[in-house]
Amino acid sequence: MKNCSDCIIYLFFSLFAGHKCLENFLPSAKECITTVLKGLETIAPLVRSVEETPEPISTEVKGTIPSWINGKFLRNGPGKFEFGNTHYNHWFDGMAMLHHFKIENGQVTYMSRFLQSDAYKKNSEKDRIVMSEFGTVAMPDPCKNFFQRFLSRFEMIEPTDNASVSFVKYKGDYYVSTETNFMHRVNPETLQTVEKVDWSKFIAVNGATAHPHYDPDGTTYNMGNSYGSKGALYNIIRVPPEKKDEKDTLQGAKVLCSIVPADKSHPSYYHSFAMSENYVVFIEQPIKMDLLKIVTCKLRGKALSDGIYWDPKQETVFHLVDKNTGEVSSVKYHTKAISTFHQINAFEEDGFLMLDLCCSDDGQAINNYLIQNLRKSGDALDEVYNTLCRAYPRRFVLPLNVTSETPTGQNLNTRPSSGASCVKVSKDKVFCQHEDLHGDDLHEYGGLEFPQINYNKCNTRPYRYFYGCGFRHLVGDSLLKMDLKDKMLKVSLWWGLLPGTTNLPLSEVPFFREHSRQMMYRHCYAKC
């Protein structure tokens, strides 16, 4: 069926799914372990435009869906990569397509719709790209004369409302989000676009992440930057759990606190943040944004992505914010230069905060996801993959009770349950060295990203298991389950299957197996 080519849903995954005293604690070399591969399968179908399927269609179920699995599975991602003769340059640029899988009584139905964003509607009306995206700058209107086209380069780029990153919830309503100041409220039953919502109408921020965190009572936390004449600020946002009126969206949202960047004209880029029971953890990493380049990108004929760069000379800093008071800890927790896009969990235990995240020793991965790279094949595709630095799950241990009496120059983490170290080096600085949350066997699967936990049960609490995607390709090609008790890895891998994708021609039944390749559990998928 042309409207949906072999749409795959992985039920298991989606539903469960220096300073001298530091010499003994610092790594001797960059820990960027790669697995050189040859003969990667093409992933070009991932970046082809597809048609929407606005009416539910039945699927062919391979295997048996357990009777207790009933619900709806919502996905979001790019689904259109060109308008007329103009095309996007980066995977992040494609127009948002919303996906809906309904699982009921052992059967699955599927539907999809394009988000009716202003970007989508304007591009469709003109049959060309008229709104710039992360990696693509819109060209001036060819119908304008030379002078008008020249003047248009001096206009600020209009922030996109192409919310293609994720589904999120605020006050019980479903939204799709990106990283600008715009979200769209959507109907989770029909996928119809209901309302465009602008963060800046409620609080002084110029955007927010697409990965908020939730307290058990429904209070939502997020982060967003603000930009003014004195530079940038990182802001912690809190949104109340309930509506006061049926039409409420972000009413009552507040900036809990603001954090000053190390360099106000070159703040860090961040995709998400971590949260424990009592703290928000902001990770200021060496992926930097050159604000001068960003505000002049249209004038220079460059995309926004041109203003983002990796500075390996800078350390990564963990900032702790008290969720109850909004107070920012005066103690800063440093580690070597790492990049992180997704955190696993964070929890407090015995006077320490355990911070688990997927991170890499390099921060240039975004640049590799150009559409021209993803459409390569053969040796050219292998070459792109083999330039990537893999991401691995790591734990950092942050001491919460650092005072003037705390000794310097020695490891404060004496707990036998973790091999991570944390050393006070000055009055308000602690240097942290991570513990690997994996064994050597993970290298075979290209590291781990897109981590998931049983959020309602385990978020902000001690936990045992997490799940993720292995990356023996530019996109995830396996499902991984990690047992933190013994760092035992279980893998679901079948060549040609890509977890979470919805537009690749895939086949066969995936299965869970031990690393020793002993079959453990069979799982099913739906094909439409």
Residue list for the binding site for Fe cation: 211, 271, 342
Q: How many residues does the chain have?
A: 528
User: Taking a C-beta distance cutoff of 8 angstroms, is the pair 397, 354 a contact?
Assistant: yes
User: Taking a C-beta distance cutoff of 8 angstroms, is the pair 183, 174 a contact?
Assistant: no
**Angstrom distance (rounded) from CA 265 to CA 268:** 10
**Angstrom distance (rounded) from CA 392 to CA 381:** 22
User: Taking a C-beta distance cutoff of 8 angstroms, is the pair 499, 448 a contact?
Assistant: no
Cα–Cα distances in angstroms (integers) from residue 244 to residues 171, 185, 248, 250, 251, in the given order: 10, 17, 7, 11, 8
Q: Residue 324 burial by CB count (10 A; 0-12/13-18/19+): exposed, middle or buried?
A: exposed
Q: Give backbone dihedrals phi and psi of 45, rounded to 5 degrees, phi first.
A: -60, -20
Eight-class DSSP state of 227? E
User: Taking a C-beta distance cutoff of 8 angstroms, is the pair 287, 339 a contact?
Assistant: yes
Rounded to 5°, angle at Cα 459 from 453 and 464: 55
User: Taking a C-beta distance cutoff of 8 angstroms, is the pair 243, 272 a contact?
Assistant: no
User: Taking a C-beta distance cutoff of 8 angstroms, is the pair 203, 253 a contact?
Assistant: yes
User: Taking a C-beta distance cutoff of 8 angstroms, is the pair 268, 249 a contact?
Assistant: no
Question: Collapsing DSSP states into helix, strand and coil, what is residue 138?
Answer: coil
Q: What is the CA radius of gyration of the chain?
A: 23
Instruction: Give binding residues as ranges.
Output: 211, 271, 342
Quick one: which of 194, 191, 189, 167 has its CA closest to 52? 191
**Angstrom distance (rounded) from CA 133 to CA 141:** 16
Question: Collapsing DSSP states into helix, strand and coil, what is residue 124?
Answer: helix
Cα–Cα distances in angstroms (integers) from residue 193 to residues 3, 122, 163, 297, 482, in the given order: 20, 15, 11, 30, 37
User: What does DSSP say about strands 86-87 and 82-83: parallel, antiparallel, or unpaired?
Assistant: antiparallel
Spell out the alpha helix ranges (H) of 145-200.
Answer: 146-152
The DSSP annotation for 451-487 comes to EE--HHHHTTS--SEEEEEE-SSSS--EEEEEETTTT
> What would the two tokens of residue 216 be?
């058990």
